Amino acid sequence: MANKAVIFTFIIFILCIGMQVVLAVPDVSIPGISGVVKPPDVVVPSGPSLVKPVSPVSVSPVHKPVSGIVSSPVMSGASGHETEAESVQTAVATQNVSFENRSFAPDRVIVKYKTSGISTQSSLSQVQIEANAALGASVIADATTLGITGMQVVSVPNSTGTEKAIQLYKMNPMVEYAQPDYIYHAFPVTTVPVQVNQNAISYRESTISGKVNEPSAQIPVSPAVPVTKAPVTSGAKSSFVTVNLSNYDEYTTSTTGTSGQTATMSRTMLPSVSASSASNDPYVGYLWGLHNTGQTGGTADADIDAPEAWAVSKGSRSVIVGVVDTGVDYNHPDLKANMIGGYNAITGTTNPMDDNGHGTHCAGTIGAVGNNGIGVAGVNWYVRIMPLKFLDSSGSGYTSDAIEAFAWGYARGVRIFSNSWGGDGTDTALQNTINQYSDALFICAAGNDEVNTDVYPQSPSALPNANILSVAATDNRDALADFSNYGAKTVDVAAPGVSIYSTYRGGSYGYMSGTSMATPHVAGIAALVKAVNSGYTVAQVKQAILSRVDIKSGLSGKCVTGGRVNAIGSISSGSSYDFYVGDFNGDGKNDIASVSKTSSGYKWYLDYSGDGGTDKSFIYSTSAVSWDNRYIGDFNGDGKDDIALVLKTSSGYKWYLNYNCDGV
């Protein structure tokens, strides 16, 4: 019996030695189940037709001063299927990837120390120095650039590794949390941008020809057919010639000629307001997300109602939107006037030039200069765009650089951040940072994996912060895009995100698809809301967007609101005025109607010239019921818009039509 006890004790001793040996071996790569990683936004060739998103492509590693990249198996959905490129990445991984099966820097850790109970900064610094010394870690970034008290990014020895260092930091009672420096992606693909000759397409140039002695010659011209020279049929006389070019402003001029001669005049024709959705930008017709007439084969009015919003506000240069992305081509002719200085968190410099294209595309949707005769128009014609670059030329970047970009922008006035990037899982450091900037709104792409983010959470879009607004993508028929993520609890709204035309690096333009493209539509609306209601809080701006969506049956259960965003509704929400757009005087141009509730009833103000003045006013009064349900349309076919009021009575809904816009 004694011999058995000795043998048993010896076996236990050997096992203990074996455990110690195992614990001393460096971490190895242990593939886990695949996480949900967003595939690339889709970039397609020029032309306004819809294009189905293509399969995701592999993303090259981030170029940072670290020894390698830790990668986990990834997939384009939730199936766990690996591409060949992804398998190669996994094979060369040098560290354990058990942290939510995500890619991260192999030799860096983000550490957040507790600040409560520490009386002075010097005490906090001493705690950090001692903790870092114990692990042989060196500080890469601290609160000075990160903007978060008690936060540091540290480099740890390769012999220790990221995960072991995190475990050791967590053992320190003064550490609030420690985590990897995760990698995020903007999902880039090889692009085929549309090259544009700005000088050639600024306006349409036509030759105007006519016969003298016809004082008001009306010459219809087809935009697709050049105007030919017409002979002068009488003696030398001066005569007026008028050209009516479809979709362009009428132009009248005079000429002198003699019999047998040909009089030719050239004129740069300006697109008419009605034809160009209140913008003379030649490619504005491609922007179905702003104004959808069915021009791309979609459903009319499956858009954000941008022209209706522009009748009230085209934005304000007192509003700054931070585009947290791959940078922005700040020299782009369609963006330059709306750009302000930004930051490059990768290099630590103030040169955030876009070396990818993704960020420039997003910036154009938010704020390409409107009515400048070139390219496109953004949701805001006037706004300040601050490029905050943390994603490199491959579209990849780190948590720590995103945090640094947030801090730099926030310190310089950004209160609306547009974030067309993300990754799977929960990023505590990112959540902590966004919480700190509680008076800023973070609009975030929901992702392109066709997954429910209630089940497969994403960062930052699905983080539980009150100041995050998560965006899914819709197509030109108001259906959820086939690639878009969704979530009844974690996705707030939807916005146009399929075949979106916008600015691209190098002064060009191109189409892209993705929730990355939907996000700047919403960021642009948020900027419009602030332009109209400068005193609004984050909660009020967010509520204005959420409360005035266009409800769509296909979005029911797919997002919190069940709707696609609406710009005119959002800027009217909560205002002392409601705004409507219509041709109330029959001159062929849209007018602005403002409605205000007074003690006598609802007073209407009509502005025919769009100059902020009042050309006509009237009041609908009643002591029994309110006139809250209002509709605009030409109900009697006289070419002028009328006002319809709908009242709920004991017998049903009663309609009142006012043809003369006079309150009667």
Q: Is 482 annotated as catalytic?
A: no
Strand order in the sheet with 382-389: 343-344, 382-389, 315-325, 416-419, 441-445, 468-474, 493-496, 563-564, 550-551
- List 325, 334, 354, 492, catalytic entry: 325
Residues 588, 600: Cα–Cα separation, whole Å = 32
Helix (H, G, I), strand (E, B) or coil at 641: coil
Contact 262, 278 (CB under 8 A): no
Distance of alpha carbon 294 from alpha carbon 473, whole angstroms? 18
Name the active-site residue from 239, 394, 420, 516. Answer: 516
Q: How far is CA 6 from the centre of its chain?
A: 71
**Buried b or exposed e, range 323-361, using 16+ CB within 10 angstroms:** bbbbbbbbebbbbeebbeebbbbbeeeeebbbbbbbbbb
Reply yes or no on whether 325 is catalytic.
yes
- Annotated active-site residue 578? The verdict is no
Q: Which of 218, 202, 215 is nearest to 250 (CA)?
A: 218
Residue 289, strand partner residues:
none
Burial class (CB in 10 A: 0-12, 13-18, 19+), 436: middle
Q: How far is CA 202 from CA 253, 308, 397, 568, in A?
A: 21, 24, 37, 28
**Annotated catalytic residue within 185, 291, 332, 358:** 358
Q: 151 is written with which tokens?
A: 């936060």
Residue by residue, DSSP assigns 99-141 as TTT--EEEEEEEEEE--TT--SHHHHHHHHHHHHHHHT-EEEE
Q: Which residue has the tokens 């819809």?
A: 50
The answer to whether the CB of 346 falls within 8 A of the CB of 405 is no
Distances in Å between the Cα of 282 and the Cα atoms of 86, 196, 270, 396 are 42, 11, 10, 34
What is the C-alpha to C-alpha distance for residues 311 and 642, in angstroms, rounded to an integer? 18
Catalytic residue IDs: 325, 358, 516
